[in-house]
Structure 1
Amino acid sequence: MVEFLIDTHPGHSLHLLLFTDVTNSKELVEAMKAGTLNPELAFFSATLVPTTYPVLAAAHKALLAQSRDNLATRTLHSELIYNYSGSKHISEALRRFGINDTSNYVLVGRFDATAEELDATRALVKGTEINLEELPSRAVQSLILKYYKITPAELEVSSLEEAVTCRVAARDIL
């Protein structure tokens, strides 16, 4: 687990936890759809996350939308997934970058988490928590390139992390 302070939004933080061998994705998806997930969390398909930096860019955008009372989705945490995607289509973004019934490698995000909420998150996700440093080695680059439409020429002048972060940051103006 790592806590990131969001400097552009004083008083806000984002905690990220990475799990492998998750066995209850179906139940987590059902709880999200029913609106009964407690605490509220963002569940990423971790295979599509090369590093934490693009997630932090998405977190900034989600908090900005919330501060403007302009969320495109129902919750701040679904807004985080939506803003991480390269798509302007909410359902496609949540389907592609969120978890599904068979997801077993999951990145979990929680804004402004208390110690109790982090404990509840660990109890909620049935899997093995691993170090966030494993993200780059476990990312599926071919899928990331496909979903973000990143070309080989672009990777000659920037990293995968930079290309994804650029898509996250610029999605609304493209």
Structure 2
Amino acid sequence: MAELVLEFDTHPGRTLTLALFKDFSNAKELRANMADGPDVALMNAAVVVDTFAVQLAAHRALAAETSGRMTTKTLHAELIYGMSGTKHVAESFKRNGINDDSTALLLARFDCKPEEWSALRLACVKELETLKSRVRGTQVPLAELASLTDTGLIDKYYKITKEELKVRSRSDAVAFRIGTKDCA
């Protein structure tokens, strides 16, 4: 299955590789193994409106890392925090990270392009492949993300009203909240 690799004009050479899984069933096991495994973001795909929102949150995470102003301890944790509409770190992980009931997983790994088999990236690619093999679920193309999202949950977590959806898309509403998270 093909992963999606996002690139960032403002951070040359930096990438974010995404892999989507449906019928996912071993969240507890993967969370328990996070301390031993590679640094990755394991996101609940049901609350990810689209890949643009992920790219926006990833850009914010990279900017926070570059400026030395990360709210969390790792870049991948900063990505999950950035995906949330709240400033509370623990709540961000509850909402946007995987939980025992998650059935759709969006796996994200910074700076690990599957097609780059150079010596520098080989270890990262192997880690990514190992992690993907541990997921009990079916990897699907990122184009299927919309079919796995829970719009009711997205509206609840991002406080999107029906009135707002009359004038802008859900994707725009989520992007607005991610982009202005630190402005209040």
Q: Which residue of 2 aligns with 1:4?
A: 6
Aligned residues: percent identity? 44
Counterpart pick for 1:165 among 155, 175, 183:
175
* 2:140 aligned with 1:130: yes
Query: Helix, strand or coil for the counterpart of 1:17?
Result: strand
Q: Which runs of 5+ in 1 are unaligned?
A: none
* 1:85 and 1:168 in contact (8 A); partners too: yes
Equivalent AA in structure 2 for residue 126 of structure 1: R
Query: Helix, strand or coil for the counterpart of 1:172?
Result: coil
Shift of 1:126: 2.1
Alpha-carbon displacement from aligned partner over 1:63-103 (angstroms, at most 9, x marks no partner): 01111122111211011000000000000001111001232
Give, in whole Å, the separation in 2 of the partners of 1:21 and 1:125: 10
Counterpart pick for 1:118 among 117, 124, 128:
128
Give, in whole Å, the separation in 2 of the partners of 1:40 and 1:101: 20
* 2:53 and 2:83 in contact (8 A); partners too: yes
1:9-158 matches, cutoff 5 A: 9-32=11-34, 35-36=35-36, 38-113=37-112, 114-158=124-168
* 1:26 and 1:102 in contact (8 A); partners too: no
Give, in whole Å, the separation in 1 of the partners of 2:127 and 2:63: 23
Give, in whole Å, the separation in 2 of the partners of 1:101 and 1:74: 23
Equivalent AA in structure 1 for residue 128 of structure 2: L
Alpha-carbon displacement from aligned partner over 1:1-59 (angstroms, at most 9, x marks no partner): 11011111111000010001222210111223xx22x2211011101012100110000
**TM score, norm. by length of structure 1:** 0.93
* 1:29 and 1:101 in contact (8 A); partners too: no
* 1:50 and 1:139 in contact (8 A); partners too: yes
Give, in whole Å, the separation in 1 of the partners of 2:60 and 2:100: 27
Equivalent AA in structure 1 for residue 41 of structure 2: A
* 1:39 and 1:120 in contact (8 A); partners too: no
Q: Which 4+ residue blocks in structure 1 deviate beyond 4 angstroms?
A: none
* 2:22 and 2:148 in contact (8 A); partners too: no
**TM score, norm. by length of structure 2:** 0.89
Shift of 1:137: 2.1
Query: Helix, strand or coil for the counterpart of 1:108?
Result: strand
